[in-house]
Amino acid sequence: MSPTPSATTVIVHRIRLLDGVDPERFESWVRDVDYAACPRLPGVVAFAVHRVADAGAASPGEYFEVIEVTDRADFARDMRSGTFRGLVAEFEKMATVVAELTGDRVGSGYRSG
């Protein structure tokens, strides 16, 4: 299934590192392991982890990730895969998801060329 921009579901997770976890260790894992696994998850259209920069709104070690998926059913299938389960196992050693938002994009949205 080829995704179209108007058919994309977006999932946003607010993430907090576990006590004692070095942010650089987590960020290195995101860059080298988490992002590298995305091509093996066919339901994932786009994925990025962001460090929370607003010091007044967050404590150190807070992040959010934005996952764009073709649809919920495709992503549910990806979540049952060995690749995804392995990512979750490693993630849970470093961080926890403290909040989740899921929604469907209204129209095609905007993205500069």
Secondary structure string (H, E, C) spanning the chain: CCCCHHHCEEEEEEEEECCCCCHHHHHHHHHHHHHHHHHHCCCEEEEEEEECCCCCCCCCCEEEEEEEECCHHHHHHHHCCHHHHHHHHHHCCCEEEEEEEEEECCCCCCCCC
Q: What was the pLDDT predicted at 6?
A: 47
Which pLDDT belongs to residue 104? 87
Residue 2, pLDDT score: 45
Q: What per-residue confidence (pLDDT) applies to 55?
A: 64
- Chunked mean pLDDT (size 10), the chain, 113 residues: 59 96 96 97 96 74 94 94 97 97 87 84
